[in-house]
Structure 1
Amino acid sequence: MASTPNDSLDKPKSPSDMNSSTEVNSDHAVSSETPDDTSSPPMSKGKLTLILVALCLSVFLAAIDAVIITPALPTIVKDLGASDSGYSWIGSSYLLALAASSPFWSKVSDIFGRKPILLIANFIFLIGSLVAALSYSLPMLIAGRAVQGLGGGGIITLVEISVGDMFSQRERGLFYGIYGAVWAFATAVGPIIGGAFTEYVSWRWCFYFNLPFDGLSLIITFLFLHIHNPKTPLIAGLKAIDWIGSLLIVGATLMFLLGLDFGGVTYPWKSVTVICLILFGLVTYAIFGIYERFAKYPIIPRRIFGNVSLVSTFGVVFCHGACFIAPVFFLPLYFQSVLGASPILSGVWLLPLAISFTASGIIMGIVIQRTGKYLWIIRGTMALLTLAIGIMILFGADRNWGKIVVFQILLAWGIGANMQTLVICVQALVAPEDIGVATGTLNFIRNLATANSVVFGQVVFQGVLHRHYGDLVNAGIPRDIVSRLLNGGAIGGSDLSSTFTPPQLAIYQVAVADALSKMWILYTGICFLGLVISFGIQKKELMTSHETTKTGLEAEEAKRQKNLSARAKTEAHAINGVKAEDA
């Protein structure tokens, strides 16, 4: 495609431009005519629908696996003989691998193409699901969940990138809306399905469930997904991967998140283990940032943080990610521990959130497709999210159906409308050739935010709950049970509270409701910060035309040369400016 980044972002292309086959480069028109470099023929509506179903099915499975095991955790821990702290690893191993792997997947797909890497990610997810389903010990289950997370990170990132490759910026609104709706639906029904499997069949079906559907998605993707495939030679492609950068960012993420995960549960926050993990993780992030400046094909190029709009967008992504995961994680706790709902019933009570979340994503996708405007959506929904989480502070120990339903609807619109709007915003602000790494970076930041958010929320929750120690002991609850509840047991301690007398249970429910209420104050502040940051994002009109995103080693080299040329010009301008001042 003969274009420059500025052209591609600021004005539509003519049909003749769209049929050109010259690689994007602001300084040199690098020809990319290779035998495999032909444009894919237009897809029929039937084939397009089939591909989108396959992609959405993959996203559904990757999303549902983050929450489907939540109601099954007590049963899994009992069956496998795990410790009280062991249950947390069943969920966190998936999220750790998912968060750490996102940047790697996006960059590898830039080198080898989207389709083969998406197929590999699907296959890895399939293997992880099988290992988890067949697990006979906690270490085996944790390993299977980690493999699942590795594949899930690739699926989530590569589906978003593939949609960006297939459609124009305006068209992406609708398809990302559908994508967000699928994510919301999976997040909402996951606990219901997991609870049903656990209660009526076996917790292992939370993982067997993935096998036929992921296999179907893999087959459809293999047969019908036709996007640019560079057919990169294996050895040359492996040599081009930024292995040092990959190890640094994965290592930094694992150390940092493990430190947060251990803190207050496995080890005290002041322990050497927790402090060293968090500190070494932050130091490794700094080393990664320095190294990437000199990497030939960096995992996260510094240029995608090159202006205030992009930095502000990533800031909003972090705040939004921190806030959207909190209700999904803590509302079931409120329903079960305070209002006395069963695991399945707590999932049913989340349906207002799920239905509204699904509707908001699709409606906003259609609005973006028709208007080409997204900035007001980002700011408006961050304001709504701040309001929605703020009024959740009013949740008490009494059951009020008006609050439960209305608050969830407001919350869903604040979360769902921005879920994919931020992806569209980032992709509009970067050059077309950087869509892959920018989308991978967005997912990495969002995953970091969700992991940090749950930990920070738990810290506040446990801290406030500790203030009720005297009330719980005075109610006649044994001190050892109170200690377990105040040191992580309240999150997964439904079995502990089931032994309480009615007066003891009432006092415990008031304590948990108070702790959750104080916790929502933290998330309200984070949402408000995201709203303020959103005003740093500049308006950008979305294109209605589309150009194929080239991948492969030739495209990577063209980007590198373009970046070197831009850097040389910047340095030359700086030198000339200094000389002019001296003169």
Structure 2
Amino acid sequence: MERKDDLDNNHAHGEPDSMSDDDKSISRQSGDTSGYAILDDSTKDEESHGASPKQQKYGWRFWAVFFGLAVTALISGMEGVILSTALPTISRDLGPGENYSWVVNAYFLTSGICGGATSSDMLIAGRAVQGIGAGGLNMLIDVIICDLVPLRERGTYVGLLFMIVTVGSACGPVVGGAIVDNTSWRWVFYFNLPFCGLALLLLWVFLRTAFKNEASLAAKLKRIDYIGNAIIMGATVAMLFAVTYGGTRYAWSSPHTLTPLILGLLGLIVLAPLFECSRFATNPVIPPRLFANNRTACLAYFVTFQHAIVTYWVTFFLPVYFQSVLRAAPTRAGVMMLPTVTLFAPCAAVAGGVVSKTGRYKPLAVGGLLVVTVSVGCLTLLDAQTHTAVWVVLQGLVAAGLGAVISTLLPAVQAGVPETEAAATTATLAFVRSIATVWGIAVPAAIFNNRFDQLLPGIGDAGVRALLANGKAYERASREFINSFQEPLRSQIVGVYARSLSRSWAIAVVFAGTALVAACFEKELKLRTELENEHGLEKKANSANAEENGTVHKG
């Protein structure tokens, strides 16, 4: 049954007469499931992969919108990792010490000020402001695709956009390294402004959806889950504080570490679920109904979380290996990350096409995660003597596996719920991914810092040990710093960096491996081939214009 039919028969679905127009409009927009049963993946038909999807023809307005989304995705991907090669140089100038990871985490957590920063605190605050906008962009890109494209075809378009995100992610280290090598690092934060302006113009002009929401702004704002967001964000910040400073500024047994860690765990594991399931959360940030009787969606969200952690783990700590162990300049380190873009992007696009063609996502998820787990495990062998071909192949395999998996995540979480829940599932997926990216920086940073401090006695000079202790090894991870010492001290420093990174890769295997196990227990659910919502681009009155400007289904 089409969603419009359901909306036209509100009383049949239990929508009371007393509801205001604003409430009804919001209920429809948010995918209120009072009249829709969540599909139970234990009983869902699984033998439908051979059905031929309807052909879709998209007009020029669709492609204008898609190009605007592509520009947005490119900048979003680049902004997330552009600091991976530039941050050591920025750290040297502004001196954040062990606070360096907050420069990245503030961006993802809240996902002009940065360019004019005169202190590390100002830079962190500026990245937080940037992150507020970027967090919304990352989620809305997926939501717009869900509104315009049927589920079975979403893999192709999501794969293309993730490919573009990956191009941005791969170019980010090169651009960041080139900027700090040749001009002021402040241009790392200025260069994206014209691209954002272009994307804004395209979406403002061409993105006109058929669905009209008549709710007032006050009614819309009332639906936001302020308390749920505050609990989750507060608990996450508390845990990040403990992970970032534990073992460096404070001992792990210190109350300064244990108190925020315990409070954060209680907030995420106990308080947040209790509130989100209560009657006080009318529109929870993570709707419990998306997980009810839906094992595949639960596992897919978990895979998404682990996948994002491993992705940023590799993206931010391979450049540390290149600059500290192989002693590459920032620009060179960015170039050495190119195997990521040459394989991640095409694999994401190909995987999306395979999902659209076959309707199958589980084999790609399992196969990709198997490759990632084995390849990340092999990264533990990297040291100063590793041949170029080895790290190129290993980096490429990791990128290929991660790329293949990323196009399977959205179909997996949406296959077991009705089309009316597309916005809720997409927003939840984006939220899970954003929180995971924070941990993808904080967890490896904590492991690296603690292991480095354990290995410091292997460096013979006490003065050098003082320079690198207590979380300062990351900001010193540069060819300039390491080459300033003579042998054998130089080799000692490089050896400690290599062994610290090896420990970090070993722990990353656990995250990739648990994602692999979870993917093995997903079910292969049917993917819808038609767009069953009231969105899509507006169509003109006459059929010729409708065909040109909208989406035309050909039987």
Task: Provide the residue aligned with 2:272 in structure 1.
Answer: 288
Task: Tell me the distance in 2 between the aligned counterparts of 1:57 and 1:419.
Answer: 19
- 299, 303, 306: which one aligns with 1:319: 306
Establish whether residue 304 from structure 1 lines up as the match of residue 290 from structure 2: yes
Does the residue aligned with 1:487 lie in a helix, a strand or coil?
Answer: coil
Secondary structure (helix, strand or coil) at the match of 1:488 reads coil
TM-score, with structure 2 as normaliser:
0.83
* One-letter amino acid of the structure 2 residue matched with residue 154 of structure 1: G
Matched, 1:218 2:203: no
Contact 2:366 2:516 in 1 (8 A): yes
Report the secondary structure of 2:13's partner residue.
Answer: coil
Structure 2 partner of 1:120: none
| Counterpart-to-counterpart distance in 1, 2:482 and 2:142 | 42
Shift of 1:374: 0.8
Residue of structure 1 in register with 2:552 after alignment: none
Correspondence for 2:322: 335
Deviates more, 1:283-292 or 1:355-364: 283-292
Shift of 1:549: 5.3
Of Structure 1 and Structure 2, which has the larger fraction of its residues in helix? 1
Q: Deviations 1:51-93 (Å, cap 9, x if unpaired)?
A: 11111211222221122123333443454x4342343332221
Aligned to 2:489: 504
In structure 2, distance between residues paired with 1:320 and 1:304: 20
Residue 517 of structure 1: aligned partner: 502
More off after superposition, 261-270 vs 19-28: 19-28
Whole-Å separation in 1 of the counterparts to 2:8 and 2:235: 35
Kept in 2, the 8 Å contact 1:2–1:29? The answer is no
Q: CA deviation at 1:346?
A: 0.8
1:241 aligns with 2:255: no
Aligned match of 2:34: none
User: For 1:255, which of 238, 250, 253 is the aligned residue?
Assistant: 238
Asked if 1:409 is matched to 2:409, the reply is no
**Against the structure 1 CA distance between its residues 389 and 262, is the aligned structure 2 distance closer, same or farther, given a 3 Å change threshold?**
same
CA distance, structure 1, for counterparts of residue 515 and residue 436 of structure 2: 12
Q: Is the 8 A contact 2:296 2:522 kept in 1?
A: yes
1:2 paired to 2:2: yes
Q: Contact 2:170/2:337 (CA < 8 Å) preserved in 1? A: yes
Please tell me the residue identity of whatever aligns with 2:497.
V
Q: Which residue of 2 aligns with 1:375?
A: 362
Are 2:496 and 1:483 aligned? Answer: no
Query: Which of the numbers 98, 102, 106 marks the counterpart of 1:89?
Result: 102
Q: Distance in 2 between matches of 1:183 and 1:455?
A: 22
**Does 1:418 find its partner at 2:405?**
yes
- Taking a change above 3 Å as real, the CA distance of residues 24 and 171 of structure 1, as seen in their structure-2 partners, is farther
Cα displacement (A) at 1:95: 2.2
**Cα distance change of structure 1 residues 381 and 202 upon mapping to structure 2, 3 Å threshold:** same
After superposition, give the CA deviation of every residue in 1:381-417 in whole Å (9 maximum; x if it has no partner): 1111111112222212214122122112211111011
1:292 to 1:323, Cα distance in 2 relative to 1, 3 A: same
Instruction: Please give the alpha-carbon distance, in whole angstroms, between the structure 2 residues aligned to 1:500 and 1:160.
Output: 49
> For 1:77 and 1:24, how far apart are their aligned partners in 2?
60
Distance, in Å, in 2 between the alignment partners of 1:155 and 1:44 is 23
Q: Which residue is equivalent to 1:573?
A: none
RMSD: 2.7
Kept in 1, the 8 Å contact 2:2–2:532? The answer is no
Are 1:182 and 2:203 counterparts?
no
Q: Distance in 1 between matches of 2:384 and 2:449?
A: 17
Q: CA deviation at 1:303?
A: 1.2
Greater shift after overlay, 462-471 or 88-97?
462-471
SS in 1 for 2:328: coil
Identify if the C-alpha distance between structure 1 residues 25 and 274 changes in structure 2 by more than 3 Å, giving closer, same or farther. Answer: farther
How much has 1:25 moved relative to structure 2?
8.0
Alignment of 1:362-401 (within 5 A): 362-401=349-388
* 1:137 partnered with 2:119: yes
Aligned counterparts of 2:457 and 2:191: Cα–Cα separation in 1: 45
> More deviation in 369-378 or 70-79?
70-79
- Preserved contact between residue 105 and residue 441 of structure 2 (Cα < 8 Å): no
CA distance in 1, matches of 2:465, 2:212: 59
* SS of match in other structure, 2:333: helix
Report the AA paired with residue 92 of structure 1: N
**2:496 match: secondary structure:** helix
Distance 2:452 2:90 in 1: 26
Closer/same/farther in 2, CA of residues 256 and 511 from structure 1, 3 Å limit:
closer
Does the aligned pair in 1 maintain the 2:105–2:442 contact within 8 Å?
A: no
Question: Partners in 2 of 1:25 and 1:481 — Cα distance?
Answer: 72
Corresponding letter in the other structure for 1:2? E
- Determine which of 435, 438, 441 is the counterpart of 2:422: 435
Q: Within 5 Å, give how 1:46-125 maps onto structure 2.
A: 46-79=60-93, 81-98=94-111
Partners of 1:263 and 1:26 lie apart in 2 by 56
Provide the C-alpha distance between the structure 2 equivalents of 1:132 and 1:537, rounded to a whole number of angstroms.
Answer: 42
Paired residue secondary structure (2:142):
helix
Partners of 1:338 and 1:510 within 8 A in 2: yes
The CA distance in 2 between the partners of 1:181 and 1:322, in whole Å, is 18
Q: Is the 8 A contact 1:461 1:518 kept in 2?
A: yes
Letter in 2 for 1:198: V
Q: How many residues align?
A: 495
Aligned to 1:124: none
Query: How far apart, in 2, do the equivalents of 1:207 and 1:263 lie?
Result: 30
Contact 2:85 2:319 in 1 (8 A): no
Aligned partner letter, 1:197: I
The corresponding residue for 2:41 is none
Name the SS of the counterpart of 1:489 in structure 2: coil
Name the TM-score, length of structure 1 as normaliser: 0.79
Q: Distance in 2 between matches of 1:391 and 1:77?
A: 30
Q: 1:266 to 1:220 in 2, by over 3 A?
A: farther
Corresponding residue for 1:45?
A: 59
Go from structure 1 to structure 2 and tell me whether the alpha carbon gap of 1:463 and 1:237 turns closer, same or farther (over 3 Å shift).
closer
The alignment partner of 1:334 has SS state of helix
> In 2 relative to 1, CA 135–226 (structure 1 residues): closer, same or farther, beyond 3 Å?
same
Report the alpha carbon displacement of residue 175 of structure 1 after superposing the two structures with TM: 0.5
Deviation at 1:96, TM superposition (A): 2.2
Determine the structure 2 residue equivalent to 1:7: none
**Aligned residue runs from structure 1 range 434-453, under 5 A:** 434-453=421-440
Amino acid at match of 2:135: G
